[in-house]
Structure 1
Amino acid sequence: MIVNEQIKASEVLLTGLNGESLGIVSREEALALAREHKVDLVCTSLMSSPPPCKLISRGAAKESAAAAKREERKKDQPLKAKEIRLTPHIEEHDYDTKLRQCEKLLASGNAVDLVVRIQGKEGPKAKELLEELLKDLSGSGKKETGIQLSGKQAAVRVLPL
């Protein structure tokens, strides 16, 4: 962010405190206006000639730049995955509760790992349960991986739409 004396252009396209256009003025005149109103002169883009500049209250420009930086960092975070555990012998009410939990997590932007614990020969039943859950969740998420049967569990990851 380029402010006040850091601006090197001889002329700037100036915007006032209330968003009104003040036209093209010299750098010195713009800095004098900024000092007079006790505000900062902030350059919004260096890609045009003359560069557009705004009069912004002191600290507000710094705060908005920090907020934009925080938002950018937040977007760069990897997707958080929450795990929902089930068993192949699940009651209808419990199934509905787990389904609502999954929809809530997907709506908040989290990925969901659906894990079914299996013992003995419950593999096909666990896979059937996961397929049914995926079908019911199709409105709020899509599967990232296929259903993986491994040893004592069957799992699938669902990403939010």
Structure 2
Amino acid sequence: MWGWFAISKDLRINDEIRAREVRLVGEEGEQLGIVQLREALQIAMDKSVDLVEIAPTAKPPVCKLMDYGKYKYEQAKKDKEARKKQRTTEIKEVKLRPNIENHDFETKARNAQRFLTDGDKVKVTIMFRGREITHPDLGKTLCLRLAEFCKAEASIEREPKLEGRNMIMILTPVKHD
């Protein structure tokens, strides 16, 4: 089965409209009343504009007189502007070992700070090997030490938790007003 379905992006225009009579709206938004489709198309032709079906589910359907090309151009511009302002949050990962040296820790912590200031979340992973798993308290201490190091830029979204041979904590950037 097929049919005409109007979606806000793909509006029916001019000869694509399939109703007998329509509620006509002028270019400035003024109501012109319910008219026959042929008459509405003639009015649109006389004014050198398009007849666009803006509410196909209404009884009768609502059609507006407008320059469809200009309307689509304006919509595309608005959509592009909206996409420009959108910010996707990524999750960056910092991997550590329980017996990490101080300088290495500071380097990893600075990387985490940089990710957080860029607006990304940081997943801190402490990897345990061999018998290190018997000391999960070392991993938790290390996670909390990193959180303390980044406390100006971050808050803890998820507390340190042991998952298999890894301990995971998630830091989220703090919104500065």
What is the CA RMSD across the aligned residues, in angstroms?
Answer: 4.3
User: Counterparts in 2 of 1:138-153, with a 5 A limit?
Assistant: 138=155, 142-143=157-158, 147-151=161-165, 153=166
Give, in angstroms, the shift of residue 96 of structure 1: 7.0
Among 97, 116, 123, the alignment partner of 2:125 is: 116
2:119 partner amino acid: L
Give, in angstroms, the shift of residue 114 of structure 1: 1.0
1:85 partner amino acid: V
Tell me if structure 1 keeps the 8 A contact 2:93–2:123: yes
Tell me if structure 1 keeps the 8 A contact 2:52–2:68: no
Deviation string for 1:98-123 (max 9, x for gaps)?
A: 346326425xxxxx351334466474
User: Counterparts in 2 of 1:24-39, with a 5 A limit?
Assistant: 24-39=34-49
Deviation string for 1:30-83 (max 9, x for gaps)?
A: 21222223222111222211111222213244456768999xxx8xxxx76431
Rg comparison, structure with higher value = 2
Tell me if structure 1 keeps the 8 A contact 2:143–2:160: no
Among 80, 101, 112, the alignment partner of 1:98 is: 112
Which stretches in structure 2 are left out of the alignment for 5+ residues?
Answer: 1-10
Deviation string for 1:117-159 (max 9, x for gaps)?
A: 4466474343345457399544xx844x9734443x4334567
Distance 1:146 1:20 in 2: 62
Residues matched between the structures, number: 145
TM-score (structure 2 length as normaliser): 0.55
For the residue of structure 1 that corresponds to 2:41, the secondary structure is: helix
1:102 partner amino acid: L
TM-score (structure 1 length as normaliser): 0.59
Give, in angstroms, the shift of residue 84 of structure 1: 3.3
Which stretches in structure 1 are left out of the alignment for 5+ residues?
Answer: 107-111
Identical pairs, percent: 25
**What residue in structure 2 maps to residue 109 of structure 1?**
none
